[in-house]
């Protein structure tokens, strides 16, 4: 889902930007209406946005394939805050991730489409289809599983459309075969995580799901605890794979290299990571994101 700068053709960069911009505009309109009705909706979006950022930015090693990949988090977000709002926080997350060498600035449109639109709406549709005929945890889990797989199938399609216009279907299958074996174990993990989180929230704060009345205090505590848990599990998983000095290459970059061997990814994130290193780079993005969120949150509170 993290297509880098320098991979897609300019016409496809513009195409995915336009499609994503339409969804973002609709999402912002819906967000503004819900904030006007309930100012507590803004900090909730901020918290879920932070969760999506953390979930989708870390490489998790998959020993079976010798590579690593990302969960997506957008199916979970779409169930809690709605799919259109999820598109907006996905675009924001991908913007900041571009500065830590995950994706690029020119490909935010394409990456938002795969992760924020297809991943969110695909997962949400599965959730809505199953929630009345299966346990809540199962319908939410299947949303997480489907959204994770659909995100990478869409990324494969975006690469095929741009790089292989003469034989799109063949290369879509080829790139999908590059992504899915690594992504499949993480999709099962996302099934379990999404199902658990939604079940937990439904038992402690059921009105957060598909309802208009919102409380913030208990959810804030729950979200913060989940963020710490997510970060801890991902941190351990990511670095355990390197304990013997091995390097589980990211499946995004591996497929991109095979798909476009002549392309050079030299976006701003790559340059910053070369200068700052990952810890400082992530700190920079986190502080900037916190300041931006705090500014808009304070502005919303003053208006309310």
Strand partners, 249: 67
Strand partners, 62: 67
> Any alpha helices (H) in the chain, and if so which ranges?
10-37, 41-57, 74-81, 83-97, 108-111, 119-130, 136-163, 168-204, 217-240, 251-259, 268-276, 278-303
By mean pLDDT, which of 99-108, 130-139, 159-168, 267-276 is the weakest? 267-276
Domain residue extents for the chain: 10-204+211-303
Q: What CATH code would you report for 10-204+211-303? A: 1.10.1760.20
By mean pLDDT, which of 42-46, 118-122, 201-205 is the weakest? 201-205
Confidence check: pLDDT of 76 > 80: yes
- What's residue 180's pLDDT? 86
Burial class (CB in 10 A: 0-12, 13-18, 19+), 123: buried
Name the residue with higher pLDDT: 90 or 68. 90
- Whether the Cβ atoms of residue 214 and residue 38 lie closer than 8 Å to each other: yes
- Whether the Cβ atoms of residue 50 and residue 227 lie closer than 8 Å to each other: yes
- Residues with Cβ within 8 Å of residue 274, at least 6 apart in sequence: none
DSSP 230: H
What mean pLDDT value characterizes the chain? 77
% of the chain with per-residue pLDDT over 90: 31
By mean pLDDT, which of 16-25, 223-232, 263-272 is the weakest? 223-232
List, edge to edge, every strand of the sheet that includes 67-69. 60-62, 67-69, 249-250
How far is Cα 99 from Cα 57, in angstroms, rounded to an integer?
11
pLDDT (tens digit per residue) in 140-177: 999 999 999 999 999 999 999 998 898 999 999 998 98
Give the residue among 224, 244, 173, 258 at the shortest CA–CA distance from 50: 224
Main-chain dihedrals φ then ψ at residue 67, nearest 5 degrees: -130, -170
Rounded average pLDDT over 278-282? 58
- What's residue 201's pLDDT? 78
How far is Cα 27 from Cα 31, in angstroms, rounded to an integer?
6
Confidence check: pLDDT of 50 > 90: no
Radius of gyration of the chain (CA): 19
pLDDT (tens digit per residue) in 214-238: 444 454 555 556 556 655 655 565 5
Query: Helix or strand or coil: residue 79?
Result: helix
Give the residue among 1, 22, 18 at the shortest CA–CA distance from 10: 18
- Alpha carbon of residue 234 to chain centroid: 14
Query: Helix or strand or coil: residue 61?
Result: strand
Could you count the other beta carbons within 10 Å of the beta carbon of residue 233? 14
Name the residue with higher pLDDT: 212 or 98. 98
Name the residue with higher pLDDT: 44 or 64. 44
What's this model's pTM, rounded to 2 decimal places?
A: 0.78
Give the residue among 53, 63, 36 at the shortest CA–CA distance from 1: 53
Query: Helix or strand or coil: residue 67?
Result: strand
Give the residue among 46, 49, 54 at the shortest CA–CA distance from 91: 49
Sign, CA torsion 173/177/183/187: positive
pLDDT band at 37 (very low <50, low <70, confident <90, very high): confident
């Amino acid at each position: 889902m993290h297509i880098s700068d320098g991979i897609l053709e300019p016409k496809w960069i513009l195409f995915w930007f336009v499609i994503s911009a339409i969804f973002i505009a609709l999402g912002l309109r819906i967000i503004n209406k819900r904030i006007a009705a309930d100012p507590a909706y803004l900090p909730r979006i901020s918290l879920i946005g932070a969760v999506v950022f953390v979930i989708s930015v870390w490489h998790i090693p998959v020993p079976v394939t010798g590579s690593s990949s990302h969960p997506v988090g957008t199916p979970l977000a779409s169930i809690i805050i709605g799919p259109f709002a999820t598109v907006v926080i996905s675009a924001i997350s991908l913007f900041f991730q571009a500065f830590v060498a995950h994706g690029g600035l020119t490909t935010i449109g394409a990456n938002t489409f795969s992760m924020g639109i297809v991943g969110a709406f695909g997962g949400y549709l599965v959730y809505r289809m199953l929630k009345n005929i299966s346990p809540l945890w199962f319908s939410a889990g299947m949303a997480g599983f489907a959204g994770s797989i659909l995100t990478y199938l869409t990324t494969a399609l975006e690469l095929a459309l741009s790089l292989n216009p003469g034989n799109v279907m063949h290369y879509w299958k080829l790139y999908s075969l590059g992504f899915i074996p690594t992504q499949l174990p993480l999709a099962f993990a996302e099934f379990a995580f999404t199902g658990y989180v939604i079940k937990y929230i439904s038992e402690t704060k059921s009105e957060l799901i598909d309802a208009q009345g919102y409380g913030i205090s208990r959810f804030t505590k729950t979200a913060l605890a989940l963020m710490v848990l997510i970060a801890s599990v991902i941190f351990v998983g990511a670095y355990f794979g390197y304990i013997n000095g091995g390097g589980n290459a990211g499946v995004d970059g591996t497929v991109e290299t095979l798909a476009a061997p002549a392309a050079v990814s030299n976006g701003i994130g790559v340059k910053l990571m070369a200068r700052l290193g990952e810890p400082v780079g992530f700190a920079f993005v986190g502080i900037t994101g916190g300041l931006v969120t705090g500014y808009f949150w304070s502005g919303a509170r003053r208006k309310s």
